[in-house]
Amino acid sequence: MKEINEEIHSQILSLYKNKEIKYRIKSRLDYLTRIYIRGGTRLWAELVFCLLTPQSKARNACKAIAELYQKDLLYSKDVAQISLVLKKHVRFHNNKSLYILEAGTNFDNICSFINDTDDKVDLRNNLFKQIKGMGMKEASHFLRNIGFGHDVAILDRHILRVMDSLNILPENISIKDSLTLSRYLEIEASLRLYSKDTKIPLEYIDFVFWYKATNDIFK
């Protein structure tokens, strides 16, 4: 069994206990929970955001969402116009415009599925299967961004690097490995164990690790 990097571990605990950082995280999570309660455009925008983030910066995805909204294209079926906007901000704009269109067609069913599924891990696993263009990371991100991030992990490159520096990646997995479904679930289990041991809620860990990696708190 690997030995945890105590220096990095101590830094993580200090960040989590920092009153200002903890307040910012709690405020962010409270805001995200209200998105699901209110539903409508904000809920749809979060889904679109998570479809835009693969291999693109989160802040750029937000810029794309803002421009789609300003140009009244957030609910549009005009794939060409959506693609032109996305081209300015994110990679794979043509594919992502098609993913948005398909998700929009099924959005009512997606919302019903969310409402009817109590087990959020199972919900995440099924969103990954049902929504084209949404991987495990993006499905987890979407759930966290609507207040259901208690049991799922957002394993982006920043989180994986911090896990690697902590020495809590599973023994058989390297940060250089492709993130297959089985590897994702194995790494998530390891992070969930770290969450339990440190008593840092899983939805907080994402923000704490992100802050450790980027000195920022974002979506």
Residues annotated as catalytic (active site), given as ranges: 137, 156
60: phi > 0 → left, psi -120 to 50 → alpha, else beta; which? Answer: alpha
> Alpha-carbon distance 118 to 103, whole Å?
22
If DSSP codes are grouped into helix, strand and coil, which group holds residue 24? helix
User: How far, in Å, CA of 140 to CA of 122, rounded?
Assistant: 11
**Residues in contact with 103: Cβ distance below 8 Å, sequence separation at least 6, in sequence order:** 47, 48, 51, 110, 131, 132, 133, 134
